[in-house]
């Protein structure tokens, strides 16, 4: 999932996510093994909250007094680093807020997009401590959206689309090869019983190759190279728009060539050319209506979600 989509989803569902992260850090601080074996406590927490990534402890001056604990219970360097200037520390220090959640950022420890959850711990007998847990934001959104199972099969889906794209591009190569042969024959046999309509046949093959290539390119970009958010209507609308646009271009060129044939004296092509142009107009109108209604429906959904968030706050 792209980082922009993840951040957008996070802000959209922040009202629902906040209690989840609040319960997470409370469960960690109140765990019976947290004071004696923090790595054991954090591993146990990660079994329930698979999106938890790192945990560490700060003193009241913002100095990290523990190593970074991973979800596997391993200790990474980080002890002794000052976090006093971090926004989550300054927001929680000296305030009545129980839990602070940062804005999304790139973690220097893992390189992932994450947010940090911080809570003041009163279980220490020595001094006040601040417990911080880094949350993998991509995994969190997948967890909240119920998208974890589909994510496991994304490699299989991409492999299937890759086979289809390779097959389409192979077909394009075959068509271009045949076009090159026809053009060479046309050039080297000028004036020798040449069919005046043969160039139109070559153009038809070129148009067909262009349409297939554009279709393969669309599948490659939409399903393999780019992340497609199936929960967004705009994502599906973009794919359908690109696909229909490819068909529109192909039919328009074919209709134009058929009209040229009719103008050269083959009147039997007049009706098919007219019908194809009418089909192009119908497809264009239908596509415009689909894009307009789809965008309007998505805007209504976004406004409804915004109103729910305002009521919740």
Dump pLDDT digits (tens) for 221-240.
877 877 666 666 677 777 78
Dump pLDDT digits (tens) for 154-202.
778 888 989 999 999 999 999 899 889 888 888 877 655 666 667 777 8
- Rounded mean pLDDT, 132-141: 90
Residue 26 to residue 98: CA distance in whole angstroms: 10
Dump pLDDT digits (tens) for 262-283.
777 777 878 888 888 898 899 8
Q: Residue written as tokens 């971090």?
A: 86
- Rounded mean pLDDT, 119-137: 75
Residue 243 to residue 206: CA distance in whole angstroms: 18
Helices (H), the chain: 3-12, 14-29, 38-48, 87-92, 137-145, 148-152, 154-188, 198-219, 233-263, 270-312
Q: Which of 145, 104, 144, 133 is nearest to 7 (CA)?
A: 104
- In the CATH scheme, what architecture does the domain 3-145 have? 2-Layer Sandwich (3.30)
Domain residue extents for the chain: 3-145, 152-312
SS3 for 130? strand
Residue 213 to residue 208: CA distance in whole angstroms: 8
Q: What is the DSSP string of 228-273?
A: --TT-HHHHHHHHHHHHHHHHHHHHHHHHHHHHHHHTT-GGGHHHH
| 0.75 surpassed by pTM | no
């Amino acid at each position: 999932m792209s980082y922009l989509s993840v951040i957008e989803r996070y802000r959209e569902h922040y009202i629902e996510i906040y209690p989840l992260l609040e319960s997470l850090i409370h469960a960690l601080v109140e765990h019976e093994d947290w004071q004696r074996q923090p790595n054991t406590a954090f591993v146990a927490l990660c079994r329930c909250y698979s999106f938890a990534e790192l945990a560490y402890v700060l003193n009241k001056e913002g100095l990290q007094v523990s190593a970074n604990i991973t979800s596997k219970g391993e200790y990474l360097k980080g002890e002794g680093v000052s976090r006093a200037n971090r926004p989550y520390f300054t927001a929680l220090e000296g305030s009545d807020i129980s839990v602070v959640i940062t804005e999304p950022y790139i973690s220097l420890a893992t390189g992932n997009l994450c947010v940090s959850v911080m809570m003041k711990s009163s279980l220490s007998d020595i001094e006040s401590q601040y417990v911080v847990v880094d949350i993998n934001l991509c995994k969190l959104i997948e967890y909240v959206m119920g998208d974890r199972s589909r994510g496991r099969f994304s490699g299989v889906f991409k492999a299937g689309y890759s086979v289809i794209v390779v097959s389409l591009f192979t077909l394009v190569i075959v068509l271009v090869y045949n076009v090159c042969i026809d053009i060479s024959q046309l050039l080297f046999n000028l004036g020798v019983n040449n069919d005046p309509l043969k160039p139109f046949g070559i153009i038809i093959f070129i148009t067909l190759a262009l349409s297939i290539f554009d279709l393969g390119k669309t599948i490659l970009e939409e399903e393999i190279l780019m992340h497609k958010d199936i929960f967004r209507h705009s994502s599906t609308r973009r794919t359908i728009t690109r696909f229909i646009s490819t068909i529109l271009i192909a039919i328009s060129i074919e209709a134009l060539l058929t009209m040229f044939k009719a103008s050269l004296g083959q009147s039997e092509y007049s009706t098919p050319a007219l019908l194809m142009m009418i089909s192009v107009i119908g497809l264009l109108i239908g596509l415009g209506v689909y894009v307009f209604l789809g965008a309007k429906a998505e805007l209504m959904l976004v406004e409804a979600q915004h109103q729910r968030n305002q009521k919740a706050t």
